[in-house]
Amino acid sequence: MQALAICFVGLSTLFCYTAEAQVAALQGPTVPSTSPSVVAAPAAEPGIAGIVRDTAGLPMPGVVARVLSDRGQSVGEAITDENGAFRVDVRRAGRYQVQVALEGFEPVTRTVDLAAGASASVDVALEARMSEMVVVAARRMDEALQAAPMTGSVVEGEQLNDAGAFNVNRLRELVPTVQFFSSNPRNSSVSIRGLGLPFGLTNDGIEPAVGMYVDGVFFARSAAATLDLVDVERIEVLRGPQGAGFGRNTTAGAISVVSRRPSFTRELDAEVTAGSLGFLQVKSNVNVPLGKRLAARVALSGTSRDGLLYNTTTRSGLNEMNNLGGRGQVLYAPTDTFAMVLAADHTRQRPQGFAQVVAGVAPTLRAANRQFPQIIADLQYTPPSYNPYGRLTDADTPHRSNQDLGGTSLTMEKRLGSSKLTSITAWRYWNWDPSNDRDFLGLPVTTISANPSKQRQVTQEIRYTAPVTRSVAVSGGVFAFHQTIDSDGRQEHGSAAARFLLAPTPAAATPGLLDGYGQIADIQSSSTAAALFGQAEWSVTDRLMLIPGLRLNYDHKQLDYDSQVYGGLQTTDPVLIALQRSVLAPQQYTADVSDTNVTGQLTAKFLLTDTTHVFGTVSSAVKPIGLNMNGVPADLTGAPIISAATVLPERVRHVEGGIKAEPVRGLRLNVSVFNTDVNDFQANVVNADVGVLRGYLANADLVRVRGVEFDGSAAITSAVSVFGAAAWTDARYARFTDAPPPLEETGGPLSKDISGSRLPGVPEWALTFGAEARRSATVFSQAGEWFVAGDTSYRSEFSSSATPSRYLNVPAYALANLRAGYRWGSGWMVSVWCRNAFDTNYLELLSAAPGNSGLFVGMPGEPRTYGVTLRMGLRSTGRP
């Protein structure tokens, strides 16, 4: 945090209160920053120029401005840039009509009289037909979200800041269809509508079903979801298969984070938040014009918090926050039709965590001497607590979740009349350095458990969008991706391992049998992917639109897995060696697989009224081949089952329909229904043998997810607004006949038919509701407004195990967050806040502990916290 403060002071010195001339800037892969700015066409250039703003006075990018002669003939057209500015080259004197239109807004026409060789300007304010209109580029064709024939949510940066949602974990409190589970950054999973990464320990050999994008750059590793969000303009949450319009093929949806882009306005924003549990967060960003064609933006963020658990062994806290991140961008716009942004970011996380605590013990079908109560009695051990809300652990192996994430990207955009060509080139890295106590106890069972990894990725995307005729527009492109992951796994056991992991026989009681016995794994993998994608928008009539799309995917993956054992009792006795190998065994295997497939979609949109439309989508998608990178089960001879080294790709069939409406001004109501069938679902399972401690991947025959979703908002008065969303989701294994048994059936049959059972991590009901009330006031001569706001979220009970277990169900819970304060000026605010206001005890997840003793552990959620936030904002928009 000290380093962040020094950087903040240095950045502040760059800010001054004079303005630079404005130029057209990059619109980017998604809609750029809508920060207010003033843009004027240079007087020396003849033509008609102008600025398009919304009713709040903010500039509107992506708006079409057409110039017609007095006879109604088209003279030219332009699309507004990020500052809402446009210019059409007109050299002949005359009277012209300027028509400005964007779907979802009332069109505006202005009359302009132009002298020969002169210039004229016009300011236009567009009024939304529908309230709270958000312009997005989710389908890579800029449009109002409410008018888009798709299901999605947009959370603006200001709403994220006000709600304290500085990472994806807190985003789920605002978007009920998003679920996030994390036992540490690597073992994180984001799901939408119940589909994401397999629930449980993450396997680096599979792709996420939910794509994570930041400024159009695909982040391949799930650890990116734990990043602090820095200088965010908005987050787009897209539900359902994506791929016909951009990026990596994702089968469940995408989360697209849009940063605030550099502009030619001088800005300085800073925010400091302090609260209970030692919470301290400092955020700042500076935007500086460096010339008439060059601008830079730098943002920094630091977050720290004390631990949520107490370790009775070390007498210190665990599961803390210790994050520091930054992002820098440089915009170069040499002409009005071409611009590029060079960006770089780095995040450093050094928390002590993340541990789980004892949550209970389930009886199993094993003999009594193989179950947890008798095992700890023989070892003369008692856990510090069986109550997870006591937040106590006695873990005797250090917990460390160190990671560094970052990269660079170059985004270039060229306007070709009304067409647009975009290129995004990116390189990223992820370094993961963990340490975990995988027995979760103060016993020397597993004394070392670490799987450090180094990931590198390169992506290249090129997109082209263009109108073909008045009724047809097309978009398409190519996407290439290459990734390497090098992991050096290590696991080692201690003196209590033999009693805990083996049946208590005389051979297993041999002194030192597993003491220091371990395994080192060298795991190297690579993934290469390429795709062609495209879609068209055909306005069949004024009310009916059809949107077909296709995607051609190619994936190639390679794996080299080599694990060796060491230590333990050095013996030639085959019985003792067999016991050691039953816990950890050497394995070597390789895999080299590829797959090519074609997927597509067809969407129809029909306008019922100017403010209401219905839509329907039929689509297919493929989640690529998976690799088992944590070891595979062995046959009766102890040899690895090579066929288990890879898992089949998931093949998705998706149907969705909905209605979007604003029945009266200020009231927005959206409803959608969907059904998703996933063949060869990639599931994370745990073998009943103790030697497979990390689990492995397998295919479930068929998974079916169906549901109904609602979201809406209402401006009850000019001073009171509310929003709400609800999701009913029925996610089940339609057919999975050879799943591993649940925890309580350990010691019985090695597989079970769980067809019809619910998927893990999917609550049947998820709800969100929020409201804000405002009142104008003047405090210390500063005109502004008082506000009071709150939001609540609810999750019904859900399974926390790949195979449902009656002991591994997370109970339903509801959380409430409150805040109040005063806003004034250009971004100044002071507020007090309280999260989890009613101090609800709840669990993030439950999991069975390794060893199949019946022990299960959990991660309790954050208790009630409170604090204060101070935010400042300075702007300079005048001309020098």
Q: What is the pLDDT of residues 149-206, one digit of tens each?
A: 888 888 888 888 887 777 888 888 888 888 888 888 888 888 999 898 776 656 788 8
Q: Which amino acid belongs to residue 162?
A: D
Type of residue found at 417: G
Q: For 316-374, what is each residue's pLDDT tens digit?
A: 999 999 999 999 999 999 988 899 999 999 999 999 989 999 999 999 999 999 999 99
125-139, 475-489, 691-705: segment of lowest average pLDDT:
125-139
Question: Lowest mean pLDDT: which of 13-17, 353-357, 359-363, 625-629?
Answer: 13-17
For residue 800, report the phi and psi dihedrals to the nearest 5 degrees.
-120, 30
The bridge status of strand 865-876 relative to strand 419-435 is: unpaired
The model's pTM is 0.84
Round to whole Å and give the CA distance between 71 and 393.
80
Lowest mean pLDDT among 237-246, 349-358, 382-391: 237-246
Q: What is the distance, to the nearest Å, from the Cα of residue 499 to the centroid of all Cα atoms in its chain?
A: 42
Q: What is the pLDDT of residues 573-616, one digit of tens each?
A: 999 999 999 899 999 999 999 999 999 999 999 999 988 999 99
Q: What are all long-range contacts of 378-386, with beta carbons under 8 Å and residues at least 24 apart?
A: 378/499, 378/504, 379/443, 379/496, 379/499, 379/500, 381/441, 381/442, 381/443, 383/358, 383/441, 383/442, 384/312, 384/358, 384/442, 385/357, 385/358, 386/358, 386/359, 386/360, 386/361
Q: What is the pLDDT of residues 812-847, one digit of tens each?
A: 999 999 999 999 988 899 999 999 999 999 999 999
What tokens were used for 373? 């109560």
Mean pLDDT for 700-708 is 96
Q: Do residues 508 and 502 touch, judged by C-beta distance below 8 A?
A: yes
Would you state the pLDDT for residue 164? 79
Q: Within 13 Å and on the Cβ side, how many CA atoms surround 1?
A: 13
Cα 299 from Cα 347, distance rounded (Å): 12
- Residue that has been written with the tokens 């400042």 in this structure: 872
Query: Residue 602: which of 539, 526, 531, 655 has the closest Cα?
Result: 655
CA–CA dist 731, 757 (Å, integer):
9
Are 396 and 479 in contact by the 8 Å Cβ rule? The answer is no
Q: How far apart are CA 222 and CA 207, in angstroms?
A: 9
* Nearest CA-CA partner of 479 in 520, 536, 422: 422
Q: What is the mean pLDDT of residues 291-317?
A: 95
Cα separation, 782 vs 800, whole angstroms: 51
Mean pLDDT across the chain, nearest whole number?
A: 87
Q: Is the pLDDT of residue 376 over 80?
A: yes
Q: Is the pLDDT of residue 570 over 90?
A: yes
R_g of the chain computed on alpha carbons:
29
Average pLDDT rounded to a whole number, residues 70-96: 82
Take residue 482 and report the two structure tokens written for it. Answer: 């290459």
What is each CA distance from 115 to 47, 91, 94, 141, in whole angstroms? 10, 8, 7, 35
Who has greater pLDDT, 764 or 874? 764
How far apart (Å, rounded) are the C-alpha atoms in residues 516 and 497? Answer: 10
pLDDT for 199? 65
What average pLDDT score do residues 710-729 get?
Answer: 93
Q: Are strands 587-609 and 612-623 parallel, antiparallel or unpaired?
A: antiparallel
Q: How far apart are CA 135 and CA 158, in angstroms?
A: 15
pLDDT at site 805: 95
DSSP assignment of 359-416: EEE---SS-GGGSHHHHHHHTT---S-S-GGG-EE---S--EEEEEEEEEEEEEEEEE
Q: Which residues contact 720 (CB under 8 A, 6 or more apart)?
A: 771, 772, 773, 774
Please state, in angstroms and rounded to a whole number, the distance separating the CA atoms of residues 299 and 762. Answer: 35
Quick one: pLDDT band at residue 13, thresholds 50, 70, 90? very low
Give the highest mean pLDDT range of 101-110, 216-225, 855-864: 855-864
> For residues 457 and 865, what is the distance between their CA atoms, to the nearest angstrom?
38
pLDDT digit string, tens, across residues 394-438: 999 999 999 999 999 999 999 888 889 999 999 999 999 999 999
Of 799, 876, 862, 855, which Cα lies nearest the Cα of 834?
862
Q: Two tokens at 829?
A: 């605010």
> Which single residue is written with the structure tokens 């089968």?
251
Check whether 72 has a pLDDT greater than 70: no
DSSP letter, residue 752: B
Which of 714, 759, 718 minimizes the C-alpha distance to 736? 759
62: DSSP letter = T
Burial class (CB in 10 A: 0-12, 13-18, 19+), 612: middle
Which H helix or E strand runs over 9? helix 2-12
- Whether the link from the prior residue into 166 is cis, omega within 30° of 0, is no
Residues 504 and 530: beta-carbon distance below 8 Å = no
Give the residue carrying structure tokens 């339903």: 812
**What DSSP character marks residue 134?**
-
Q: What tens digit of pLDDT does each residue of 251-265 get?
A: 999 999 999 999 888
| Residues whose CB is less than 8 angstroms from the CB of residue 293 and which lie 6 or more positions away in sequence, other chains included | 23, 332, 333, 334
Distances (CA, A) of 253 to 250, 333, 491, 621: 6, 33, 35, 11
**What are the DSSP E strand ranges found in 610-666?**
612-623, 626-627, 646-647, 650-661
Residue 547, Cβ neighbours under 10 Å: how many? Answer: 22
Q: How far apart are CA 488 and CA 496, in angstroms?
A: 25
Residue whose pair of structure tokens reads 């639109």 in the numeric block: 545
Looking at the chain, the whole-number percentage of residues with pLDDT higher than 90 is 62
End-to-end Cα separation, the chain, in angstroms: 36
pLDDT at 39: 31
Token pair of 100, please?
């400005």
Q: Give the C-alpha separation, 599 to 354, whole Å.
A: 39
Going by pLDDT thresholds of 50, 70 and 90, the confidence category of residue 35 is: very low
- Strands 696-717 and 294-305 turn out to be unpaired
Do 245 and 535 contact (CB within 8 A), yes or no? yes
